[in-house]
Amino acid sequence: MPKLKTHSGAKKRFKVSKNGKIKRAHAYKSHILNKKSRKLKRRLRKAGFADKSNVAQLKLLIPYK
């Protein structure tokens, strides 16, 4: 079986946790910050987890992480 290539965009955006969940950053936090509330910006700083419907596809994109 040949080796799988890691998707270079995915390896920059996703990490695999110790339990096998896929961590990701929240979107919409880098621009137009004066319209967003302080509470929202604080929440968006923290990492989130990928939805379970996308996990199988993401694991193919980052097979060796």
For the stretch 29-59, pLDDT in tens is 788 899 999 999 999 999 999 999 999 999 9
* CA diameter of the chain: 52
pLDDT at 47: 94
Domain residue ranges in the chain: 1-25+37-65
pLDDT value, residue 61: 96
Q: What per-residue confidence (pLDDT) applies to 30?
A: 82
CATH architecture of the domain with residue range 1-25+37-65: Irregular (4.10)
Q: To the nearest whole number, what is the mean pLDDT of the chain? A: 93
Integer Cα distance of 33 and 40 in angstroms: 10
Strand segments, DSSP code E, in the chain are 15-16, 22-24, 48-49
Task: Record the tokens describing residue 53, joined without a space.
Answer: 């419907």
CA-nearest of 22, 14, 12 to 49 is 22
Q: Does pLDDT of 65 surpass 90? A: no
Burial of 22: CB neighbours in 10 Å, binned 0-12, 13-18, 19+ = buried
Give pTM, 2 decimals. Answer: 0.80
